[in-house]
Structures are given as C-alpha cells and as structure tokens.
Amino acid sequence: MSGKTRHDRIRNDTIREREREREREREREVAPIVEKLVENRLTWFGHVERRPLDAVVRRVDQMEESRDKRGRGRPRKTIRETIRNNLEVNELDPNLVYDRTLWRNLIHVTDPT
C-alpha cells in the first residue's frame, strides 16, 4: 500500500500513522461529495428551467408531474422533491435560474484546495 516491505524493517504502527496523515491531507483537498451532487442537481435544474416550454426535457418533466397513479407502499422520492428540498436548504429562489452567471455563483461549491 505504501511501497514498503518487511525488508525495510519499519514497524506497522509507523506505517499506519503515516497513511492516516496522508488520508487527512487528501480529505482537505476534495470538496464533500454531497455538496457536489447538490451542485450538479441544481445545475441541471437551471438548464431545464431555462429551456423553452416545448423542449423535450420540459415536456417529460411535465409528464412526470401529471402521473397520478402510484403503486402500493411508500412512494418513491422524485427528482422534483429532491430539487425542492435542495432549494429550501440552500435558501435559493427558483426564479434566479434565468440569470445564468448569478445562478452559477450561488450554487457553485468551491474546492477547499
């Protein structure tokens, strides 16, 4: 894993500690995956909302909303519910998607490097 062998005569505890330190450094370099997923989801939402009403993506989105019959059990979480939740958590107004640069700046997650 770290390129060391038994011939190097390094104790396991020392190797483990070095690997923990490297892992901590790597964690500082990457943005949290959940925040990146939210950013990508909201980017897609902005893209779809800016499309004309007769675009295929918008028509499919409207078809999903009009689907009324659901099966037994707990209903599946829809993309609309997830996006609505992301908008509420980040305190964003859906009408801001029409200003692309503002929207991008509001939803962008910076890497902590």
Per-residue pLDDT of the chain (113 residues; tens, 9 = 90+): 678 888 888 898 998 999 888 888 777 766 778 888 999 999 999 999 999 988 888 887 777 666 666 778 888 888 889 999 999 999 999 999 999 999 999 998 877 65
Residues 28, 112 contacting (CB under 8 angstroms): yes
Q: What is the DSSP letter of 83?
A: H
Tally the C-alpha atoms within 13 A of residue 27's C-alpha that lie toward its C-beta: 6
Structure tokens at 56: 């295929």
Helix locations, the chain, DSSP H: 12-29, 33-50, 56-66, 79-89, 100-107
Tokens of 103: 């929207």
> Is 99:15 a contact under the CB 8 Å cutoff?
no
* H helix or E strand, kind and range, residue 23: helix 12-29
Domain-by-domain residue ranges, the chain?
1-30, 33-107
Give the tens place of pLDDT for each residue, 89-111.
Answer: 999 999 999 999 999 999 988 77
Which residue do the tokens 């890497």 mark?
111
